[in-house]
Structure 1
Amino acid sequence: MKKIILSIAVLALALSSCEDFLTKEPPMDQSDELALSTFEGIDGATAGNYRAVISWYGASFPLTFDVMCGNGMVGPVNTGRMRMEPAWNYTSTSTMGLWSSAYSAILGCNKALTAINEGKFSRDGVSDEQINNIKAENLFLRALAYFDLVRVYAQPYGYIKANGITGVEAMGVPIVLKDDLSARPSRNTVAEVYENLIIPDLVEAERLMSDSYVRAGVKDVVATVTKPVIQALMARVYLHHEDWQLAADYATKVIKNGRFRLLSGDRFVSMWDGSVDVAPQSGSEIIFEVYVSQSDGSRSDLGDYLTAPEVAGGAGYGDVRVSNDLIDLYDATDVRLTGLTKTNSRYPGYRWSTKYPGKGGLLAYNNVPVLRISEMYLIRSEAISRGATVSGVTAIDDLNRVATNRNAEAYATVTLDNLFEESRKEFLFEGHIFFDMKRLQKSLVRTDYDLDPLTKNIDFPSYRWALPIPENDILNNKNMDQNPGYQSK
């Protein structure tokens, strides 16, 4: 089988004016009819879909949200980068590039799924189990793309549901299931995107995938879709959909799987530079990650952006430092502060993250986690605090399992604020904070902010929490409505 090669488009998530990707042929490996007429071709196309789906995680996708929401702040050196994001200065002509990347990936998945469902390919020597596993991978990748789209370009599900919101403010993203380049799809509601696509795709993927499946030929086994990966994303999806019991149940499935465990102290710190074995067989924190390698022609922005601008060797751009607002939340003994941030003599008074230190001395090559086991404990803790039940498990135990493992003080109680704070500290520069704030309906309040004071704080609710759809997709599709607040920009 073709190995997964993650060609990270470094600028895929940059602010840009995007083309109309709902009406363009997606660039997918082996996507023509002839290539998809064999199982090997479909398998190769699936490898290409990994490359398309995961490209945004290897670019600036995780970093952007932490800069927007106060975990990161622009550094003392004005490089010109990461100035728009903390000010939330998005417009329809200068918005996040996720839209084009995700729909390109979705169309690639649709092609592979159509070929599988039509069954016109040669099945010589191919078992039903092999076909089911490939189908499950594509269903997962499509669900992940839609999940990220609806979380970025729409208001949160819980806010819409609780307030009985209808009309454009309740809109999600278009559900596209066929390669019809003449189609001009309208936006489905947020509820429809969850209930008609994301959740059904993941349920079917879990049903189809065999327990032992790992894609052949991969260099990094946690960079491929397996059943625990599907279940972990389901736990996150159910949390955002406010299905508390299902969120707890799926988090428990991953926790009880036995392949993943929390690392502590130096082993946790060393996990980020690859100096300890974090494969599932050794007890991994990481459930699913983006694998980035120079030999595969892939790279990531994160190390260069986040590494301090040292006086000599190993210098990064230092575009983004850790904000003082976040630093003040850490206990002095917390390994996430002591082991994964640092100061330097050139710019005293600032701290930079060391979470993405590069491989072999090259900052551009970092694996990027998408799902980790600590998230499963925090999901289960929140779900239990909201009424879910899991035999023998308490919300406070799960919350403190993460906190004390990082050498931080235990919490006395479980509150949504405590859960948010712990998630904020745990997932620095992994892109969680924006989505947590949205679903918890928290306003953004910043102290450490030296840009335009008019953009210092962002209230919730506000139209700003649903980013603008690229202008070209609005202009080229009369059925597509722009998000409120951006129509005249």
Structure 2
Amino acid sequence: MNTYIKNGLLIGLSTLVLTACSDRLNVQPTQSIDSGQALATEQDVNITLTGAYDGISDGNLYGGGIQYTGELLGDNRDVVFGGTFTTLDEFWRKTITTSNVDVRDTWLDGYNAINRANNVLANVSKVGTANRNSIEGQARFIRGAMYFELIKLFGKSFNDGTPASNPGVPLVLTPTASVTDADYRTRNTVAEVYTQVLDDLTKAEQLLPATQANGTGFATKGAAQAMLARVYLQQQNYSSARDAANRVIASGTFSLATTFAAAFTDASPETIFKIVVTDQDGSNGLNTYYGSTRVSGRGDIRVQTKFRQLYDAADPRGQFFTTVNNNVFTNKFNDRFGDVPVIRLAEMYLVRAETNSRLSSSVGASPLADVNAVRARAGAPLLTSVTLATILLERRLELAFEGQQIADVKRIAGTVGTTPYSANNLVLPIPQREIDTNKNLVQNPGY
């Protein structure tokens, strides 16, 4: 982690502590901060935790960037990127440069959020016993989720080569309080990063309550379980992925929305974790790029006939689009100030269906029953049988544009057009600024 990252982390921490997230304009850069003095009380720790949530809501993270990066990297002309931002166009064309500022900011903002979570975890002893488990669990969820997203983008897929030797991303598990040579980290292996992710999320599941009084914008036990299901699925640990998804469904905390359209409202009962957006705070990058100009979007990502024809003619999801000036846009993100969905219950049904199918088991329900539960909610015709291919297609139809495309291509060893899942240009480069500053970092192949 280089000086650029560290200074950003310190600035972020100083902002949280000194201004309680309310005034970021008067903060001066600093090379060190006395974290013991800065986080002296439970209120200080809570403020820093709020800052960690603010960090992951950034436009380059769960505010939309992680999702549209995953979709554009994995796209095979199912959409056309027609915008003027060359950084996103590079994602879509798979011609990413090491100077791409969106790549740089995803790295920087991810480590900023991690550092804030690290500060919470380093000071959780200052929290009273009534709230300590929840606060620690939330910080671990944030850190585990961020490392999972970083390793998927900047490291090889878990099924590509040898995870125990493939370079991942640097693991930083303590607060960055001062800049020293020790902060010029090397890249941990893919396997080491996944081990840390699972450690954080498993502990988060144990510590977190089933619900948070503040709502679905805060991590819960179900959010940790759902993220674990994603991690295990990416590792091809099918039994653990199945069981984690089953715990979410069996809890009864969440339920499928009454319609497909209702699943993309702020009040949707199937939202497991989301980024809360208001007209005062937060940004919905999915609306910005996927939304048409009629709904305050830029109209940059245009859905092609090729993709829409994947839906059955009687499937309402195939009509969940808007045409503007002969260009077609998804209706999933039409609200400029709508909350940004990160994980939905429908995905857990499809994880359980896929893993049960692969394992020839029926934990919780049969694969057919789970797929039909999702299709019934959408109003699509029910199926009489399913295969693994059917289930994978259902994932594509249900979760389109929500960020899972490149991860799915990689874990099933598929292709993006004629580009194999293991191609160098389907992995983001380490930002050039990081390479130039920290000589211990090794660039990804192909860059």
- TM-score normalised according to structure 1 size: 0.79
Could you say which residue in structure 2 is the equivalent of 1:21?
5
Give the deviation of 1:410 after TM superposition: 4.0
Instruction: Say whether residues 1:107 and 2:110 are aligned partners.
Output: no
Instruction: Spell out, residue by residue over 1:200-232, the C-alpha distance to the aligned partner (whole angstroms, 9 max, x if none).
Output: 111111222244x515xx3xx111111111111
| CA pair 273-166 structure 1, distance change in 2 beyond 3 A | closer
Higher helix share: 2
Give the 3-state SS of the residue equivalent to 2:137 in structure 1: helix
Give the 3-state SS of the residue equivalent to 1:20 in structure 2: helix
Give the 3-state SS of the residue equivalent to 2:446 in structure 1: coil
Q: Partners in 2 of 1:33 and 1:236 — Cα distance? A: 36
Instruction: Spell out, residue by residue over 1:35-75, the C-alpha distance to the aligned partner (whole angstroms, 9 max, x if none).
Output: 41101110111011011123212143312332331342124
Instruction: Say whether residues 1:92 and 2:98 are aligned partners.
Output: yes
**Range 467-476 or range 410-419, more displaced:** 410-419
Give the 3-state SS of the residue equivalent to 2:216 in structure 1: helix
Q: Is the 8 A contact 1:79 1:317 kept in 2?
A: no
Instruction: Say whether residues 1:354 and 2:331 are aligned partners.
Output: yes
Instruction: Spell out, residue by residue over 1:90-144, the C-alpha distance to the aligned partner (whole angstroms, 9 max, x if none).
Output: 121115231111111111111111112xx3x3x6xx3x24111101110010000
| CA pair 25-285 structure 1, distance change in 2 beyond 3 A | closer
Give the 3-state SS of the residue equivalent to 2:313 in structure 1: coil
| CA pair 332-357 structure 1, distance change in 2 beyond 3 A | same
Could you say which residue in structure 2 is the equivalent of 1:386?
358
Instruction: Say whether residues 1:36 and 2:39 are aligned partners.
Output: yes
Give the deviation of 1:79 after TM superposition: 4.0
Could you say which residue in structure 1 is the equivalent of 2:323?
343
Could you say which residue in structure 2 is the equivalent of 1:293?
278
Alignment gaps of 5+ in structure 2:
19-34
Could you say which residue in structure 2 is the equivalent of 1:307?
291
Q: Is the 8 A contact 2:115 2:174 kept in 1?
A: yes
Q: Partners in 2 of 1:410 and 1:159 — Cα distance? A: 36
Q: Is the 8 A contact 1:263 1:405 kept in 2?
A: yes
Could you say which residue in structure 1 is the equivalent of 2:21?
none
Q: Is the 8 A contact 2:9 2:111 kept in 1?
A: no
Could you say which residue in structure 1 is the equivalent of 2:188?
188
Q: Is the 8 A contact 2:8 2:108 kept in 1?
A: no
Q: Is the 8 A contact 2:164 2:192 kept in 1?
A: no
Q: Is the 8 A contact 1:58 1:299 kept in 2?
A: yes
**Range 31-40 or range 251-260, more displaced:** 31-40
Give the deviation of 1:475 after TM superposition: 1.7
Give the deviation of 1:381 after TM superposition: 1.2
Give the deviation of 1:315 after TM superposition: 5.6
Could you say which residue in structure 2 is the equivalent of 1:5?
none
Give the deviation of 1:397 after TM superposition: 2.1
Q: Partners in 2 of 1:198 and 1:155 — Cα distance? A: 16
Instruction: Spell out, residue by residue over 1:70-95, the C-alpha distance to the aligned partner (whole angstroms, 9 max, x if none).
Output: 342124xx545643221112121115
| CA pair 272-395 structure 1, distance change in 2 beyond 3 A | closer
Q: Partners in 2 of 1:321 and 1:24 — Cα distance? A: 35
Q: Is the 8 A contact 1:248 1:388 kept in 2?
A: no
Could you say which residue in structure 1 is the equivalent of 2:233?
239
Q: Is the 8 A contact 2:69 2:91 kept in 1?
A: yes
The amino acid that maps onto 1:74 is F
Give the 3-state SS of the residue equivalent to 2:274 in structure 1: strand
| CA pair 138-410 structure 1, distance change in 2 beyond 3 A | same
Q: Partners in 1 of 2:361 and 2:43 — Cα distance? A: 44
Aligned residues: 416
Could you say which residue in structure 2 is the equivalent of 1:144?
145
Percent identical pairs in the alignment equals 29
Alignment gaps of 5+ in structure 1:
1-17, 279-283, 446-456
- TM-score normalised according to structure 2 size: 0.86
